[in-house]
Amino acid sequence: MIGVYFSGTGNTKHCTEKLVHLLDETAQVIPIEVKETAEEIARQDFIILAYPVQYSNVPVIVRNYIKNHAALWKNKKVLCVATMGLFSGDGAGCSARLLKKYGAEVVGGLHILMPDSICDVKLLKRSPEKNRKIIRTADRKIEIWAEKIRQGRYPKNGLHFYDQIAGLLCQRLWFYGKTKDYSDQIKVNGACTGCGQCTRLCPMGNLSLKGSRAVSGNRCTMCYRCISACPAQAITLLGDKVVEQCRYDKYGSQ
Ligand SMILES: Cc1cc2nc3c(=O)[nH]c(=O)nc-3n(C[C@H](O)[C@H](O)[C@H](O)COP(=O)(O)O)c2cc1C
Ligand code: SF4
Ligand code: SF4
């Protein structure tokens, strides 16, 4: 078994590590953007694939990974895990359908409510205490399902037809344009000091330094990793001002 995840602000990384290590403490848990991930997946029968839901859809980097490694999924057992800030309809179902197309046996879907990761929009911002409570509830849900999975029972979150209708009607129909492809909407303002941290963190290599300022290309997968980490709070995407830098490590270890 192996855990493979994509995570912008740390929520999905935490959930994947917790679930996988409860099931098998010797199993590997690796980020999708690491080159060797495909070789490791090829060696395993059971894969836990996890990502943050974006507008009830799978982040482009993850969708493209699945498609670009189409041969990898045949006859693999996959549990699709989607973390979310509020609601994701068929967040797990979206990758499940794609994986089935490539021959995977999707054994289950798990949705986990976590703190919101959209640093530059006020909506869904909660107090640190509320975020810690959300994480405790998420951890409990993971523990309960780890126990059931050990007994051969799998969650089916997001896999039903009505979940698909909910995801479509509540989100994808209206916001499909946002997740159709990589984004060119990252903005870097004059507060940038040119420290280069964002360029090292971006999983897409979408940021680079030009002189003493970071500049963005058109391959952003909207993970908010750079925005949540920039020491000058100089980067925005959906909004125009950083409201709060959202990172799992701000709440998770307390
Ligand atoms: C661009 C974007 C879109 C999002 N859309 C949704 C959504 O449709 N529903 C939801 O519940 N959460 C949504 N979220 C919140 C994240 O899915 C959630 O906070 C997730 O746990 C972040 O995980 P990460 O820390 O691993 O990146 C969105 C986040 C981003 C950045
Ligand atoms: S992390 Fe922030 S301050 Fe540093 S280079 Fe990137 S945008 Fe500029
Ligand atoms: S530019 Fe920032 S938000 Fe976009 S993919 Fe890179 S790290 Fe993520």
Whether the model clears a pTM of 0.85, i.e. scores above it, the answer is yes
* Token pair listed for 187: 């903005």
Q: Considering only CA atoms, which residue is closest to atom 8 of ligand 2?
A: 192
Pick the closest to residue 169 from 62, 90, 52, 114 (CA basis): 90
User: 197 CB under 6 A from ligand 2?
Assistant: yes
- How distant, in Å, are the alpha carbons of 77, 119, 231, 235, 243 from that of 122? 39, 8, 20, 16, 6
Contacts of 99 (CB under 8 A, 6+ apart): 49, 66, 73, 78, 80, 106
DSSP letters spanning 206-222? -EEEETTEEEE-S-B--
Q: What residues does each domain of the chain span?
A: 2-177, 187-251
For residue 65, what pLDDT is reported? Answer: 97
Q: Which CATH number fits domain 2-177: 3.40.250.10, 3.40.50.360, 3.40.50.300, 3.40.50.10470?
A: 3.40.50.360
Query: What is the structure's pLDDT at 254?
Result: 53
Spell out the per-residue pLDDT of the chain, length 254, in tens: 999 999 999 999 999 999 999 999 999 999 999 989 999 999 999 999 999 999 989 999 999 999 999 999 999 999 999 999 998 899 999 999 999 999 999 999 999 999 999 999 998 899 999 999 999 999 999 999 999 999 999 999 999 998 888 777 777 777 777 788 999 999 999 999 999 999 999 999 999 999 999 999 999 999 999 999 999 999 999 999 999 999 999 987 65
Residue 253 has which token pair?
């270890």
Which CATH class name applies to 187-251? alpha beta
Q: What does the alpha-carbon distance between residue 56 and residue 90 come to, in Å, rounded to a whole number?
A: 7
Q: H helices then E strands: how many in the chain?
A: 10, 9
User: Quick check: CB of 234 below 6 Å from ligand 3?
Assistant: no
Q: Is the CB of 196 under 6 A from ligand 2?
A: yes
What does the pLDDT read at residue 88?
Answer: 86
CB of 166 closer than 6 angstroms to any ligand 2 atom: no
Determine the Cα–Cα distance for residues 135 and 141; give it in Å rounded to an integer.
Answer: 10
